[in-house]
Structure formats: structure tokens, C-alpha cells
């Protein structure tokens, strides 16, 4: 790094932003095979958090590749860089007091570990969306698995490129056999347990009591 580049310390701190938002910031890192429900679950959780007054943002794998990572392909090296960039971006959002949700296959253990190292232990929640490849292929709304098996897509996770299952995720969600509502509730519970949503929960309860 250039010695002329110095980190500027702002007067508006993460703690002040969290106090304004009435919740703590954190990153929920959704990982799993294509079709395992990462994006669906991340957006459904964001909707519930938004309704509670939460400050949130979902980094969706496809959306990010339209801009920030539009110059990257799907080789192992490009995937590594893709995850590195998202990790650094998510870190900035956590500093901004936002609940960041990232929905990426992120198939390699080392890449996910490198992202985890960017955060304090309490700031990173790895969410493994557990779903069999058979079910993912059955869903296959984009037709990607079919094209991958036909040899039209190279380096496709689960077919021609490996997916390394997380060893110790903070939470494993059975997106194959559980309803979306149940999955979202499990995530809300872990956020409450960790004290991320304590104030939001109280605010929501107060609003309900006033309404009644």
C-alpha cells in the first residue's frame, strides 16, 4: 500500500449510526448451491427487517456482476476476486450501521474464511442454505444446470466445479424441506439472540400495543 494513503477517522462512528438506526449492524453471508434459495431467503428476510424499521441492503450475486464485478468471469481466480470485493464492500456497510445480506454461492472454504477474517466475530453470520443438488436441479428456473450438464457452461458449481460445504456455519438452514416463512423465522431468532434486533423488537412491540 502507498505510504501516502492514510486512513481518515470520521467523527460519525459506527456506534452513532447504530444508535440512530436502533439496531446493530452485521453481515449475513448466505452460501449454497445455485438454486438453494439464497437470494429468495435473503430478500424475504430483508423485507421483514425493513418492515421493522431496519436499515438493510442485499448484495445479490447476479446484480453485483452487472456492475462492481462485471469484469470478472467464473474461473477460480475470478471467483476469489469476486468474493474479496464483496467482503470489502460488506465491511463498509457494517461500518455504516447497515445489516448487510450477501447471496453468493461462494463455493470455496478458503475464500469464505478470508472474508470472515475481515470482521469481528460478532459481525459475521455465515448462513448455509442446505439443499440437495437434485432439488436445486429440479428448481433450475434459469436452466443453468441443464446447460452445464450439456457442456455449455464451464466451471459450474456442483457439476464441473466443486462446492465445499461450510464446516461450522453460524446457522444451517434446510431450504429444501422448510418453508420460506420458517427459514426467515429461524434467521430472525438468531438476530434477536445476538442482540442485533433487540431495540427493533421493542419498537415493534410498542407499535403493536399502541395500535391495540
| Catalytic positions | 106
- Report d(CA 41, CA 186) in Å as an integer: 11
* CB 102 within 8 Å of CB 39: no
CA 165/CA 130 separation, integer angstroms: 9
With contact defined as beta carbons under 8 Å apart, do 26 and 91 qualify?
A: no
Q: How far is CA 190 from CA 2, 16, 32, 79, 125, in A?
A: 41, 23, 19, 29, 9
Quote the CA–CA distance of 7 and 92 in Å, as a whole number. 13
Amino acid at each position: 500500500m502507498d505510504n501516502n494513503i492514510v486512513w481518515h477517522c470520521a467523527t460519525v462512528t459506527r456506534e452513532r449510526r447504530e444508535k440512530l438506526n436502533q439496531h446493530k449492524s452485521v453481515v449475513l453471508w448466505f452460501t449454497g448451491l445455485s438454486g438453494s434459495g439464497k437470494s429468495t431467503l435473503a430478500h424475504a428476510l430483508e423485507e421483514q427487517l425493513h418492515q421493522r424499521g431496519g436499515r438493510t441492503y442485499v448484495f445479490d450475486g447476479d446484480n453485483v456482476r452487472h456492475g462492481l464485478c462485471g469484469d470478472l468471469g467464473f474461473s477460480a481466480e475470478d471467483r476469489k476476486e469476486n468474493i474479496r470485493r464483496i467482503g470489502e464492500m460488506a465491511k463498509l456497510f457494517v461500518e455504516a450501521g447497515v445489516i448487510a445480506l450477501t447471496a453468493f454461492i461462494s463455493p470455496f472454504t478458503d475464500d469464505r474464511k478470508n472474508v470472515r477474517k475481515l470482521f469481528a466475530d460478532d459481525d459475521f453470520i455465515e448462513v448455509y442454505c442446505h439443499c440437495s443438488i437434485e432439488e436445486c436441479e429440479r428448481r433450475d428456473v434459469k436452466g443453468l444446470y441443464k446447460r452445464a450438464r450439456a457442456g455449455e457452461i464451464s466451471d459450474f458449481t456442483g457439476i464441473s466445479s466443486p462446492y465445499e460445504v461450510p464446516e461450522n456455519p453460524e446457522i444451517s438452514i434446510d431450504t429444501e424441506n422448510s418453508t420460506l416463512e420458517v427459514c426467515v423465522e429461524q434467521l430472525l431468532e438468531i438476530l434477536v439472540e445476538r442482540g442485533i434486533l433487540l431495540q427493533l423488537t421493542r419498537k415493534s412491540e410498542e407499535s403493536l400495543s399502541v395500535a391495540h
